[in-house]
Structure 1
Amino acid sequence: MKRIHGKWICPICRATSKNAHFQALHDYALLINPTITNKELRKFLHIDSEAVANYILKSLNLDYRGNTKERIYYLDLHAENR
């Protein structure tokens, strides 16, 4: 899916979702790492914009450590779509 104007859109079937990233980040935490940075999020979700990635991370209300450039977010596997 690609993120376009605040929605995730499937380029094949045109299905849309506002929160497709929830499951993707849950999978990321299980398969790759239970922590994530803005840069890692952008790479994993194929997002070009730092601001959009920051918006997604802030909207998830995740615990984090560090300031700005070195910030690491802790993906909570037990949270239900915060």
Structure 2
Amino acid sequence: MPTEDRVTSILLWIIDDFLELNGRHKQLKADHELGELGADSFDMVELQARIEEALQILIEEQLRVDITFSQLLTLVRKARANAHH
């Protein structure tokens, strides 16, 4: 199971790859909304599936375009904690 720092890195890489940011994820701030990065509601469904598959977790709620990176990280950490129970 990846460490928390590794989870953050994986999440950033998935977002960068999926939204074709070409490395701009390095400039991603905790309060950036994924919609600001070009994601629409259809993208969010696919992005959620990619995150869940990569980290072998289940995120309880549907991701929205106004979710910030920080909020997404919190949801992922919660899902990882639930997966261990």
Tell me if both proteins adopt one fold, taking TM over 0.5 as the criterion.
Answer: no
Question: If you compute each CA radius of gyration, which structure gives the higher value, 1 or 2?
Answer: 1
Richer in strand (by share): 1
Richer in helix (by share): 2
Structure of greater relative contact order (alpha carbons < 8 Å, 6+ residues apart): 2
